[in-house]
């Protein structure tokens, strides 16, 4: 059965990537702002990525445990360096450019934070194997260190600025805390403090971030400015109806009404050209991959592998839900890509490595 799970993960991952390539080609076909080179970059990355995913199936998964803190430290160093030496584009400083290839350290942090928290909670399993019987001091000690491991990179990412990825980093923290066995009261208390601080967070947001929150409530208050993209996105998805307008035939897409359709808003292209049927196909593939991950997490006996698997399943689910909710106007626009579908080298390979870890566990009987 484990081999079948691995095959299913590979097949569904390939289908998601395939739909992404079709949509990306369409998004760049008559795009006056973006070169069609991004499609060929993604296609090359897809071939290399699937090879890497299969290669990871042969690696001992405990090597991820051994390298967890080192990789986390490297990611933090990159986040610090990008503030001073990164490439500035689209109002943010998030990328390094090496030999013409862009690299985004904040995407790597998603993976390495999951690794670091998985190792921490594995090493402290004895003190965390409780739900209600622990002393307040033990709860605090077990909670503070993971929070610090999360807060520092989250603040560096927010500084770039990249609110969306900073939110996802905190999402990873919540997921890992929840599945680690830590007392729910500690997590509930921290959640209450975060919610109480939300009104004060308004004052530290950038003006464009405030505009995005305002147009989320009412896109029509600035239909040609901050609300333009989300209005065009909803028109594109709605106009696709049941079967879509056909590949390369989406009017919002091909007539350049929809900005950023090769990255954050690529799901709008899927909806317009492939309709409800196409969007449900993509969602079904994600659902199957996530279900396979949950089966692996349920069966695996290794604590680190269990936590790592739940972290991967959690961040994949969270990012898919936020991106699709964003392009449909259900969530504010926060600049989050659709995994394996949107263009982005670093994001693509980070998720390939994550799914490669799941494939690895599905093929290793020693982990079960």
The tens-digit pLDDT sequence of the chain (368 residues) is: 466 898 999 999 999 999 999 999 999 988 778 888 889 999 999 999 999 998 988 888 889 999 999 999 999 999 999 888 877 766 677 777 776 677 889 999 999 999 999 999 988 775 555 444 556 666 666 778 888 999 999 999 988 888 889 999 999 998 998 888 776 666 777 778 777 877 777 777 777 778 888 788 787 787 777 788 889 999 999 999 999 999 999 889 888 888 888 899 999 999 999 999 999 999 999 999 999 999 999 988 889 999 999 999 999 999 999 999 999 989 988 889 999 999 988 999 999 999 999 999 887 654 55
Q: What is the model's pLDDT at position 1?
A: 46
Q: Is the pTM of this model over 0.75?
A: yes
Residues facing residue 335 across a β-bridge: none
* Of the candidates 332, 60, 68, the residue with the CA atom closest to the CA atom of residue 211: 332
> What is the Cα–Cα distance from 2 to 286, expressed in whole angstroms?
19
* Of the candidates 356, 355, 353, 326, the residue with the CA atom closest to the CA atom of residue 338: 326
Q: What is the model's pLDDT at position 155?
A: 93
């Amino acid at each position: 059965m484990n081999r079948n799970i691995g095959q299913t993960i590979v097949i569904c991952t390939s289908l998601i990537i395939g739909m992404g390539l079709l949509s990306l080609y369409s998004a760049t076909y008559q795009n006056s702002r973006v070169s069609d080179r991004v499609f060929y970059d993604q296609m090359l990355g897809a071939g290399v990525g699937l090879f890497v995913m299969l290669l990871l199936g042969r690696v001992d998964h405990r090597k991820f445990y051994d390298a967890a803190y080192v990789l986390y430290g490297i990611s933090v160093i990159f986040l610090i360096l990008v503030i001073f030496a990164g490439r500035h584009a689209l109002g943010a400083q998030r990328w390094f450019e090496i030999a013409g290839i862009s690299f985004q350290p904040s995407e790597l942090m998603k993976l390495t934070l999951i690794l670091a928290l998985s190792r921490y909670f594995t090493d402290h399993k004895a003190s965390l194997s409780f739900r209600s019987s622990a002393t307040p001091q033990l709860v605090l000690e077990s909670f503070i260190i993971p929070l610090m491991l999360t807060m520092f990179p989250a603040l560096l990412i927010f500084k770039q600025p990249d609110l969306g990825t900073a939110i996802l980093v905190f999402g990873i923290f919540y997921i890992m805390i929840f599945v680690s066995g830590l007392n729910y009261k500690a997590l509930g208390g921290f959640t209450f403090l975060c919610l109480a601080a939300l009104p004060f967070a308004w004052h530290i947001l950038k003006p464009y971030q405030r505009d995005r929150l305002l147009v989320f409530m009412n896109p029509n208050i600035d239909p040609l400015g901050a609300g333009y993209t989300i209005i065009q996105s909803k028109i594109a998805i709605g106009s696709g109806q049941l079967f879509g307008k056909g590949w390369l035939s989406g009017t919002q897409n091909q007539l350049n009404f929809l900005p950023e359709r090769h990255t954050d808003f690529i799901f709008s292209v899927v909806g317009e050209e492939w309709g409800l049927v196409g969007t449900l196909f993509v969602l079904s593939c994600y659902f199957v991959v996530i279900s396979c991950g949950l089966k692996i997490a349920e069966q695996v006996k290794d604590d680190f592998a269990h936590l790592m698997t739940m972290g991967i399943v959690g961040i994949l689910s969270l990012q898919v839900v936020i991106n699709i909710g964003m392009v449909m106007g259900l969530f504010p626009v926060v600049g989050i890509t659709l995994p394996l579908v949107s263009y982005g080298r670093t994001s693509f390979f980070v998720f390939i490595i994550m799914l490669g870890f799941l494939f690895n566990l599905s093929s290793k009987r020693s982990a079960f």
